[in-house]
Structure 1
Amino acid sequence: MLEHVNKELVPMKAHYFLYNAATGPIVPFLPTIAKQLGFSSSLVGTIYTILPISGLIAKPLFGGLADKFRLHKTIFLIFQVILAIGFFTINFIPEIESSAEVTFTCDRGISFIEVCSTKGFSPKITYDALNSITLYSNCQLSCNITNNTYNESCSKPNATQFCQLIRTNVIEGTTFNFTVGFNMYQNLPTGNCVNVRVLNMTFSESVVHAPACSFNLRTSCMASCRNNPIMNHLLEEVRNGRNVSQTSTYQFHLFLWAAIVSWVGMAVVVSIADAICCALLDFRILGDENRKDYGKQKMWGSIGFGIFGISAGYLIDVFSRGQSQKDYTCIFYIMLIAMILDIIVSFTIKKKNIEYSKGDPSVLWELLSVGKEGRVLVFGWWCIGAGMCTGVVWNFLFWYTEDIATHSEAAWIKTVQGLLTGVQCFLGELPFNFISGAVLRKLGHVNVMSFVLLIYAARFMAYSMVRNLWVFLPLEILHGPTLGLCWPTMVSYADKVAPSGMRATMQGFVGAVFEGVGVSAGSLLCGWLMNVYGGVVTFRIFSIGALIWLAIYWILQLLLQKAKASPIHQGHNHLASYATPDDAILLTMNQELQTY
């Protein structure tokens, strides 16, 4: 059996497996990592608007350099290193310290921290704050001190330590720092505020005092609460309500540039790896038969992504036991080890010259020519809609599951998310990869495109109605008739509507419109909607939006048929050819798994 294995292709198989074993544990969880760092959903949506565009720019730029100077393997290895560095850097970015202005009050020995938001708190944050079972926590306060505050505090014998800190008359603007201890379950709601009951105060010498005062004392303070996610979320909403921008923090800039570097690395590694693989298989000479072998190489990438994506979620939960926040450290080291092994394996890949044409016309000129055709424009409209829906699933499904998770479910939320990845890969996409040819033959491209948007609409509506996380697992089988059919339909239809000699241009057009426009716009819109209206409303808006997009698509198709601008009738293309199971894998394997 082993004698039939092509030894030249073994390193290529190993690369696809190890590369996806490295990126599989990181890419799906990156939006929730950003969430834990303290970024809002609208800011994460903005980041995921930039990332696909950076990848689309990097592919032709560095691919062209590799072709021009025959440096495919060198650039391939360099960007594997860049990718590993970019991702590993994210592990060391600290959380944004959610400091915000609060009011410290004391009246007859009872003290509170008043945490108020001008826009009010979101229902989930309020619920979490009022129903927390955290027994004891603390926050650091830096409060303005006045003569009245000083005199009142020093009139009590148990505040002598504070009085020793300030022995003279208080100067306007003087502040003093201390730590307050409290139990979260003693919080009280009052309008747009949450009052946190203070149990004790600790000054610089670690002596604990009970708060004491004989009249109503109020002073403005800046509060920061380390290792308390609920209080951090409250303070974060206070900052957002007062328009304090997260983009001014160094954490945002570190995360953004590390993510861009990683995305560029992934885009270049994927595109050049495919070129090297094609050269090894020598499509130019051996033709379609070796295209099937190409799909067999990429299959190893799916296996790596699925296995390590599932296991990563479980490992995160295991290493996070007893902690208030999830510990993602383990997946960054998995990524680093897998990438080092991938680099070692990639050194052994046999180098072959990759053919390219010197006389090709300008890509921009070709795209302008292609864009003049009505059926291509309508196809582009569908690609944008499908890309927007896909961006929502890629970047905000895990975010939404965390928002609706109960306290008991939160302990194993990453395991559930890992299982969602597994269902998407193994029970959703792969089966539909194999049957995509038969489905296209039976229904035709236009009908399948319509079916994809229809299922996306049903899928989003189901998300908005489900509250049990385990129900999401069978729902993710719908990833098959959405993305599992979406990509092969796009690629094969683009191949058929492309003018003579412009097939490569059409495939570039598909990638640019789907990911660079659709996924980017969907991420931006979804992030903003979730920040303003919450996940339930957002998914219902996208469900209705998918149906509206579908209706417009059908109107455009009917207008094309009426004008006889398209050879497609009743949703069937008489020029269409359909993929075998192996070819279906070739067509799909897989934008999500390779570049996300």
Structure 2
Amino acid sequence: MSQTKCNTSTLPMKLSFFFYLGGMAPLVIFIPTIARQLGYSMATYGTAMTCATLISMIGSPIIGRIVDKYPVKKLFFLTAALACGICGFLIMFVPKLPYETNSELVCGNETYLKVFSKTNEQSSCEDNTFLNPKTDEVIHCKLNCQKNPFEGCNNCTREKDTIDYLSITTEDNRLIDISTQVHFSEHVENIYKFQVLTAQIDDIPISSLSCQNSVKTSCQLNCSDNFVAELASSPAFEGSVYKLYQFWWLLQSLIILFFFSQSTGMLQNAICLDLLGDKHEDFGKNKCWSSVGWGISSIASGWLVDYFSPDPKNKNYTPVFGISLLSAICHFIVAQKIKIVETTVSKDWKPKVQHTIYGLFRKGYVVSFFVWMVVMQFFHSIIIHFLFWYLDEMVDHDCSKRQWIKTLQGITQGVQCFGGELPFYFWAGWIIQKLGYLNCMALSLGVMSVRMFLYSVISNPAWVILIEVSNGISYALAVATKMSYAKLICPPNELNSLVGFVGFVIVGGDSLGSFIGGFVYEAYGGAGMFKYCSYVSGFMCLLQVLCNIFGVSKELKNKDFTPVSTQNAIDAKL
């Protein structure tokens, strides 16, 4: 009677995949919306991500080369794993950009505060905050005005100290600090008008709030109601962010996070392939646990963010950073249990050029393989960095959807993993065997094109849940093809270097996606960006098919590195 054996030797490796991406998932998926809430524009965020990924891009091949030469793989892996969680947690303390307020205090027959919203499209979601009869409370605002509008007021208080204070302040051209109590009055286009009920200067009340001649003054304001402050604030800082310490704090945090994240992922893949040896067809059975970790933590973090956010517009992202740190600690503990195989190379061994990493790039099919990786990662980067930003904008004017948008975004990640990635990691070997590597590359590009187009035409963010099932072919199958083929063509004793270079190319595509995507999004909007990306992906799919028919496919049948028949590599099941 046969018994099913459980391979416990790879259990620490599977848990490593689970905890690593379980900790990174909340950070990766919510960093774009965190940056938006901090006040950054789309182009600025894209530029910051490009810098962060470019630096991490340089680190991958260097670390890969080092661990191929020296037995320091475990030391690097443990250090990078722990550093990921710590750096991710510290992003929680990055301050917001300074907001520029747009308000005006007007004294005439009556005194009122005019708040100018930067957008003309304030929705019923915002209006109901004040037009609802239940919200009939008085709002306290502290104003910092350029001049005193009450100098010409009718029937001002006759207290000598008050009159002297008002005149001295004006003559000295100082900013006037005015404490007021206001009540919402009316909304016309992008102007919100609040009636001033009381006003004080230096704790001295102004007895009359009417002036003989209309007097206006621009003010900075700070109100007890967050919504009023947001109306008067620019949605993103409009000056040069490069002069602000807040930007450099964020950029530095992102650089360190993605450097250690890329290093961890690269070493993790190489360690797994080392442990599997000739059974690299089982790579997907281990890698799929990263999808489980990503899916669970995405759903949990999305729900927790909504649960702990009393303000549906300004979310509390503390659960994201807490999950990231906790997962990193668990990953560090588990990683110590992995039997890491250090590289041992004889000093007398000198490989021929054609059997080195450099020899790979003499082959046309290898060059086309790396180009395909850049293109796929470019589109994947667009989705990672801008899909949630796009969904946030979609519900900006819908109160009911905005309240639970983070839960919805977490569910989409769960569907990506459990409905898309997980099954295709297991089916990838059979698909590759039936279609071949090049056709799998073309298929992933084609599905990516359809996926991008569907993003551009939806009006309800809930439809994204169904679209994300396509992540199985457009991402998981592509990853399986990439890792299986990389292992197949790898020269002897060069695995870590090759995986590091693969990471270099992937991060290159990621940096291009974040940089170009940010400017395209800002110029054409989310729907326009996804539509244009759909067209480009479709064109690249057609180009890949033509290359398969007329050029590269024939060369793939004559590889020089590894005898396919002896390793049965064409049957690789990831």
TM category, shorter: 0.7 to 0.9
- SS for the counterpart of 1:133 is helix
**What's the offset of the Cα at 1:238?**
7.6
* Corresponding position: 1:267 with 2:272: no
**What's the offset of the Cα at 1:237?**
4.5
AA aligned opposite 2:50:
T
Which stretch has the larger CA shift, 459-468 or 200-209? Answer: 200-209
**Which of 513, 519, 530 pairs up with 1:528?**
519
Which stretch has the larger CA shift, 370-379 or 497-506? Answer: 497-506
**What's the offset of the Cα at 1:473?**
0.7
**Aligned CA distance change for structure 1 residues 341 and 492 (closer, same or farther; 3 Å):** closer
Aligned length: 557
**What's the offset of the Cα at 1:372?**
5.0
Q: Distance in 2 between matches of 1:299 and 1:349?
A: 17
Contact persistence 2:157–2:208 (CA under 8 A): no
Partner of residue 258, structure 1: 253
**Aligned CA distance change for structure 1 residues 17 and 554 (closer, same or farther; 3 Å):** closer
**Aligned CA distance change for structure 1 residues 75 and 420 (closer, same or farther; 3 Å):** same
Structure 1 residues 438-466: Cα deviation after superposition (integer angstroms, max 9, x where no partner): 33333333333233222222222211221
- SS for the counterpart of 1:534 is helix
> When the two structures are superposed, what TM-score results if normalisation uses the length of structure 1?
0.80
Identity of aligned pairs, percent?
26
Q: Distance in 2 between matches of 1:229 and 1:218?
A: 23
AA aligned opposite 1:524:
F
AA aligned opposite 1:219:
T
**What's the offset of the Cα at 1:477?**
0.6
Partner of residue 531, structure 2: 540
**Aligned CA distance change for structure 1 residues 372 and 207 (closer, same or farther; 3 Å):** farther
Residues 127-526 of structure 1 aligned to structure 2 (within 5 Å): 127=123, 131=127, 133-134=129-130, 135=135, 140-145=142-147, 149-153=149-153, 156-157=156-157, 165-168=165-168, 170-171=170-171, 173-179=173-179, 186-189=186-189, 194-200=191-197, 203=200, 205=203, 212-223=210-221, 228=226, 231-232=229-230, 235-237=233-235, 239-240=237-238, 244-279=239-274, 281=275, 283=277, 287-288=278-279, 291-292=280-281, 294-322=283-311, 324-350=313-339, 352-356=341-345, 370-405=360-395, 406-493=398-485, 508-513=500-505, 515-526=506-517
- SS for the counterpart of 1:462 is helix
Contact persistence 1:437–1:578 (CA under 8 A): no
**Aligned CA distance change for structure 1 residues 169 and 131 (closer, same or farther; 3 Å):** closer
**What's the offset of the Cα at 1:393?**
1.0
- SS for the counterpart of 1:168 is helix
**What's the offset of the Cα at 1:436?**
2.3
**Aligned CA distance change for structure 1 residues 324 and 129 (closer, same or farther; 3 Å):** closer
AA aligned opposite 1:251:
Q
**Aligned CA distance change for structure 1 residues 467 and 270 (closer, same or farther; 3 Å):** same
AA aligned opposite 2:412:
L
Q: Distance in 2 between matches of 1:455 and 1:210?
A: 69
Q: Distance in 2 between matches of 1:158 and 1:554?
A: 87
Structure 1 residues 21-68: Cα deviation after superposition (integer angstroms, max 9, x where no partner): 322332221211111111111122122222332333223334444455
Q: Distance in 2 between matches of 1:159 and 1:458?
A: 74
Q: Distance in 1 between matches of 2:355 and 2:250?
A: 36
- SS for the counterpart of 1:111 is strand
Partner of residue 29, structure 2: 28
Contact persistence 1:132–1:185 (CA under 8 A): no
AA aligned opposite 2:516:
L
Contact persistence 1:100–1:239 (CA under 8 A): no
**Aligned CA distance change for structure 1 residues 154 and 50 (closer, same or farther; 3 Å):** farther
Which stretch has the larger CA shift, 260-269 or 200-209? Answer: 200-209
Structure 1 residues 315-335: Cα deviation after superposition (integer angstroms, max 9, x where no partner): 111111356521111232222
Contact persistence 1:460–1:539 (CA under 8 A): yes
Q: Distance in 2 between matches of 1:551 and 1:391?
A: 21
Which stretch has the larger CA shift, 246-255 or 128-137? Answer: 128-137
- SS for the counterpart of 1:26 is helix
Structure 1 residues 551-572: Cα deviation after superposition (integer angstroms, max 9, x where no partner): 44456556637xx984579xxx
Contact persistence 2:40–2:237 (CA under 8 A): no
**What's the offset of the Cα at 1:413?**
0.9
Contact persistence 1:306–1:425 (CA under 8 A): yes
**Aligned CA distance change for structure 1 residues 127 and 222 (closer, same or farther; 3 Å):** same
**What's the offset of the Cα at 1:425?**
0.3
Q: Distance in 2 between matches of 1:296 and 1:548?
A: 33
Q: Distance in 2 between matches of 1:470 and 1:168?
A: 60
**Structure 2 residue runs without a partner (length 5+):** none
Contact persistence 1:229–1:325 (CA under 8 A): no
Structure 1 residues 219-238: Cα deviation after superposition (integer angstroms, max 9, x where no partner): 23334568736853763258
Partner of residue 114, structure 2: 113
Which stretch has the larger CA shift, 349-358 or 88-97? Answer: 349-358
Contact persistence 1:182–1:196 (CA under 8 A): no
Contact persistence 2:443–2:541 (CA under 8 A): no
**What's the offset of the Cα at 1:418?**
0.7
AA aligned opposite 1:228:
N
**Aligned CA distance change for structure 1 residues 416 and 297 (closer, same or farther; 3 Å):** same
- SS for the counterpart of 2:177 is strand
Partner of residue 590, structure 1: none
**What's the offset of the Cα at 1:88?**
1.1
> When the two structures are superposed, what TM-score results if normalisation uses the length of structure 2?
0.83
Superposed CA RMSD in Å reads 4.0
**Structure 1 residue runs without a partner (length 5+):** 586-596
**Aligned CA distance change for structure 1 residues 86 and 503 (closer, same or farther; 3 Å):** closer
- SS for the counterpart of 1:215 is coil
**What's the offset of the Cα at 1:109?**
1.2
Partner of residue 593, structure 1: none
Contact persistence 1:141–1:177 (CA under 8 A): yes
Partner of residue 14, structure 1: 15
Contact persistence 2:67–2:73 (CA under 8 A): yes
**Aligned CA distance change for structure 1 residues 318 and 348 (closer, same or farther; 3 Å):** same
**What's the offset of the Cα at 1:113?**
2.6
Partner of residue 86, structure 1: 87
**Aligned CA distance change for structure 1 residues 403 and 89 (closer, same or farther; 3 Å):** same
Contact persistence 2:114–2:194 (CA under 8 A): yes
Contact persistence 2:285–2:426 (CA under 8 A): no
